[in-house]
């Protein structure tokens, strides 16, 4: 009975070199994950022609947020309420990378988003006022987490005109999430 070596030294070395070349070769454009192409934080225009980042809102009451831009990526969260304000950070094809008011990030299809500007009250209770002044008559007391529509946010005021369940009034800019510090909304 003769014993054979399962591998010869030259064959083993050739296999190791080939494996090292495969592992060390950078991926081609087609192999790069979509996240590598995203334009998050660019502060410029996205493929849609709209600026990034920007605020928008959720179009329907049940929306899946995924870990990547496509249905092949797992759902990481399901939103259960229409109108929640979100920040669009990046775009990839028909998918938008978003951030919610709690800071969670993920991807949703563009058809699940609306350009309607909404807000979410933050901090303690907030007062919706009749005029853009702290001395004006209070119209409603808004608990944290109330969602409303932003109507206008003039440049020269610390207040935004808002609609909260049919109550029209003025809300301090620092009372909600859904607007950039120096942003105006006409």
Phi-psi region of 131 (alpha: psi -120 to 50; beta: other; left: phi over 0): beta
**For the ranges 8-17, 23-32, 145-154, 156-165, which has the lowest average pLDDT?**
23-32
What pLDDT is attached to residue 46?
76
Token pair of 75 as six digits: 């759902």
The answer on pLDDT for 119 being more than 80 is: yes
Token pair of 71 as six digits: 């249905």
The answer on pLDDT for 12 being more than 70 is: no
Question: In the structure, how many helices (H) and strands (E) does the chain have?
Answer: 1, 14
pTM above 0.85, yes or no: no
Q: Hey, what CATH topology would domain 119-177 get?
A: SH3 type barrels. (2.30.30)
CA–CA separation, 115 vs 110, rounded Å?
A: 10
Q: Hey, what CATH topology would domain 35-116 get?
A: SH3 type barrels. (2.30.30)
Q: Are 98 and 83 in contact (CB under 8 A)?
A: no
Give residue limits of the domains in the chain: 35-116, 119-177
Distances (CA, A) of 91 to 15, 46, 64, 104, 142: 42, 6, 17, 17, 33
């Amino acid at each position: 009975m003769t014993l054979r070596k399962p591998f010869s030294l030259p064959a083993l070395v050739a296999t190791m070199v080939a494996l090292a070349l495969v592992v060390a070769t950078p991926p081609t454009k087609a192999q790069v994950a979509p996240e590598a192409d995203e334009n998050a934080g660019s502060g410029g225009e996205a493929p849609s022609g709209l600026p990034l980042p920007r605020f928008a809102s959720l179009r329907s009451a049940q929306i899946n947020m995924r870990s990547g831009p496509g249905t092949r990526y797992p759902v990481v969260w399901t939103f259960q309420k229409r109108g929640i304000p979100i920040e669009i950070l990046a775009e990839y094809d028909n998918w938008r990378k978003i951030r919610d008011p709690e800071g969670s990030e993920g991807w949703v299809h563009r058809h699940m988003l609306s350009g309607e500007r909404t807000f979410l009250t933050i901090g303690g209770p907030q007062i919706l006022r009749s005029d853009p002044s702290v001395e004006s008559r209070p119209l409603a007391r808004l608990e944290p987490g109330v969602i409303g529509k932003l109507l206008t946010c003039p440049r020269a005021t610390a207040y935004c005109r808002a609609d909260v369940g049919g109550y029209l009034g003025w809300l301090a800019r620092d009372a909600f999430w859904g607007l950039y510090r120096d942003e105006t909304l006409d």
